[in-house]
Amino acid sequence: MQNPKGANYLIPFLEDLKDLAFVIILISSMIYRRQLKLTKWKRKLSTGEMTVYIMTSIALPIYGILYLLFLMGT
């Protein structure tokens, strides 16, 4: 089966787009965690806010460690 015309360029473009979206989500979660931390100093966080704060506080360092391990493994 033949690839449709332009398919050779579409796949790398979509992969780059996926990587860009991931970086935007990562930066957004870091900024939102900082905003929650500043809000936590001013008032008590709601249950949902506290859940997101804890999840981002755990997920961001874990992602950093796993990223370094994958870099060292390749």
User: Is residue 29 situated within a structural domain?
Assistant: yes
The pLDDT, as a whole number, for residue 45 is 94
Count of domains forming the chain = 1
* C-alpha separations of 63 from 8, 19, 72 in Å: 31, 15, 14
Q: 29 is in which domain, residue-wise? A: 7-73
pLDDT for the residue numbered 10? 79
Whether 55 maps to a domain, the answer reads: yes
What is the reported pLDDT for 32?
95
CA pseudo-torsion sign 66, 67, 68, 69: positive
4 burial (CB, 10 Å; 0-12 / 13-18 / 19+) is: exposed
Whether residue 17 lies inside any domain: the answer is yes
Asked if residue 45 lies in contact with residue 36, where contact means CB atoms within 8 angstroms, the answer is yes
Within a domain: residue 38?
Answer: yes
The 8-class DSSP code of residue 14 comes to H
Residue by residue, pLDDT tens for the chain (74 residues) are: 566 665 677 788 888 899 899 999 999 999 999 999 999 999 999 999 999 999 999 999 999 899 889 889 87
Q: Indicate whether 1 belongs to any domain.
A: no
Record the pTM: 0.75
